[in-house]
Amino acid sequence: MAPAGGIEVMLLLIGVSGVIFALVALVLRDKVGTVSAWAIAGFWWSLVVIAVVTLVPTEADVGIVSAEGRMTSCSTDIGGPAPEGFWIFAGGQRLLNTVLFIPAAALLVLGASRWRIGWVLVPLGLVGLAAYSVAIELTQLELARIDRACDLTDVVDNVSGALIGVGVGVVLMVLIRPWQHRR
């Protein structure tokens, strides 16, 4: 039986999806311009990367987690199991949870900035990223087999990363000016 998890599987899924979204960007390039095409494809790829990193088991064989042994609710202890407590830029998993959402939000801003409706799309996208984070945590709760834990702190870290990403995206938008790149 092939391994269902582990770092190698994560890297393979990220690489294959990266190639697929690079092809999507090449197809979109003539329709929306180079910068917007790569930003849109990169945004969707970053969502796949987030799913892979958070939902694929970290070990190749996590074993069996019985229904009685799994958590029945999400941890609402802000700071959760992170040993450093509640600090957005603490090391380890907390930092990863924050950094993971920065590219998605930055690429969302770059992708949406080509159109005037972008000022509506970005806040909606930010809400969507927050909902995506909640959906991931609920999936981790329900799928005990993946040996992950549902934690409210992860949502706080993810949304913090998305907010930082919007700021990064605004700076990049001003510097790159995707609306000026012609089809």
How confident is the model over 98-157, as pLDDT tens digits?
A: 899 999 999 999 998 888 888 888 999 999 999 999 999 888 887 766 667 777 888 888
Does the residue 2 lie in any domain?
A: no
Does the residue 126 lie in any domain?
A: yes
What's the whole-model pTM score?
0.82
Does the residue 110 lie in any domain?
A: yes
Distances (CA, A) of 98 to 39, 88, 139, 155, 177: 20, 7, 19, 9, 26
User: Using an 8 Å Cβ cutoff, are 53 and 5 in contact?
Assistant: no
Does the residue 157 lie in any domain?
A: yes
Residue 167 sits in which domain range?
Answer: 7-180
pLDDT of residue 63: 56
Domain count along the chain: 1
Distances (CA, A) of 126 to 16, 46, 120: 26, 14, 10
Beta-carbon contacts of residue 97 (< 8 Å; ≥ 6 apart) = 153, 154, 157, 158, 161
Mind listing the pLDDT tens digit for each residue in 29-84? 988 888 889 999 999 999 999 999 888 887 766 555 565 666 666 666 665 554 44
Question: Distance between CA atoms of 87 and 84, rounded to whole angstroms?
Answer: 7
DSSP β-bridge partners for residue 75: 151
Question: Distance between CA atoms of 159 and 147, rounded to whole angstroms?
Answer: 23
Does the residue 122 lie in any domain?
A: yes
User: Using an 8 Å Cβ cutoff, are 22 and 2 in contact?
Assistant: no
Does the residue 61 lie in any domain?
A: yes
Does the residue 1 lie in any domain?
A: no
